[in-house]
Copies of this chain bind each other. A is one copy, B any other.
């Protein structure tokens, strides 16, 4: 009864504020935390007062810092994920846990490059709790237990191609991507580097810790995060109730059923492999895999078309194996569903509301929207 009254009041507030997409978000709770990770300890003894300090006043701060480090006996907490979450009013039971792809962060799911609402807001409006992850060694989770180097390498045009926006300086015809320079500037500035080497095991461990903390949920991955997502499903089969993968980079086939590598001028994808036992977990949860537009059936001289040709083919092969083993995996090529022009970032494209609605329908069909 109290809950019902609360919703009524919230909806009244929303309605009075104007148009539906401009209605306020009613957030019951929001916050952030770290999850998973490791601790390493340096040899030596920490005393609080390195030798340099004992001698004299007037030291250089960095000299004191270095002397303290050298004396050792200190810990480093690293390789955790960081999570920002929001729980809307009248939340649905299963939250959506969002994991970004290569060179990205929580930003993938927020405001689009042209300033529209991303999946964070769109699914809050659909009353899903959202958990947004910065994976270990990326973004807010930059502290690692291993060293990192970050070269300042100009490569925007490579990613413009790889992310299927077009072939620089041209956009694909009909691409669902804003073509003004301000939006493109924002798009490029969403990139943020690895602070230490990418590690599927470390990242999927942090997701396992996240699901241990929050309980059941639906994992939504993007691109390179897709690879991690399959392993998170294997590690947390109890809590990962479904996996939604936007253009995942690879797929784990069971030993004995690994298909040959599909070749591409722009880089092969040797299929990933796991034990039959591990694979079996992925046959116990509904899975949907989305791919966007401008992906060819045949080899292409265009990087984006060719790179995602082989991944879409691999996705179909993998879904067949999953389903042959009693699983429930669906591959949705968005143009086949009448949703056209999508790049590698369907969650941010001009038609991202349509893309989100397709997912919402799938969640409903699978009874994951209770």
Contact = CB atoms under 8 A, between A and B. Distances in A.
Interface of A: 2, 5-6, 9-10, 12-13, 16-17, 24-28, 30-34, 37, 40-42, 46, 48-49, 53, 56-65, 68-69, 72-78, 80, 82, 84, 89, 105-107, 110-111, 115, 117, 121, 134, 138-158, 161, 167-168, 185-186, 188-193, 195-196, 263-269, 299, 301-303
Contacts of A105: 140
Given A48-B168, A303-B48, A28 B17 contact: yes
A13 to B, nearest CB: 4
Contacts of A141: 192
13 contacts: A5-B16, A10-B24, A34-B185, A34-B190, A41-B154, A42-B154, A58-B264, A64-B265, A68-B155, A75-B157, A147-B149, A148-B150, A195-B195
Contact of A12 (B12, B80, B168): B12
10 A-B pairs closest in CB distance: A61-B267, A34-B189, A31-B111, A142-B192, A9-B13, A77-B188, A76-B154, A42-B154, A58-B263, A74-B154
Given A69-B153, A73-B157, A142-B195, 10 more contacts: A6-B13, A30-B121, A48-B168, A48-B303, A61-B269, A64-B266, A68-B155, A77-B188, A82-B107, A144-B152
Contacts of A68: 155, 157-158
A89 B272 CA distance: 49
A77 B46 CA distance: 41
Copy tally for this chain in the complex stands at 2
A32 B65 contact: no
A170 to B, nearest CB: 9
B57 A265 contact: yes
A189 B37 contact: yes
Given A9-B9, A13-B13, A189 B82 contact: yes
Given A26-B24, A33-B186, A145-B152, A265 B196 contact: no
Nearest to A60: B267
Contacts of A64: 265-267
A158 B69 contact: yes
Nearest to A116: B31
A84 B140 CA distance: 13
B267 A154 contact: no
Nearest to A61: B267
B49 A303 contact: yes
Contacts of A190: 34
Contacts of A154: 40-42, 69, 72, 74-76
Given A24-B89, A48-B303, A75-B188, A69 B155 contact: yes
Nearest to A166: B48
Contacts of A84: 110
A180 B149 CA distance: 34
A89 B153 contact: no
A22 B139 CA distance: 29
B196 A266 contact: no
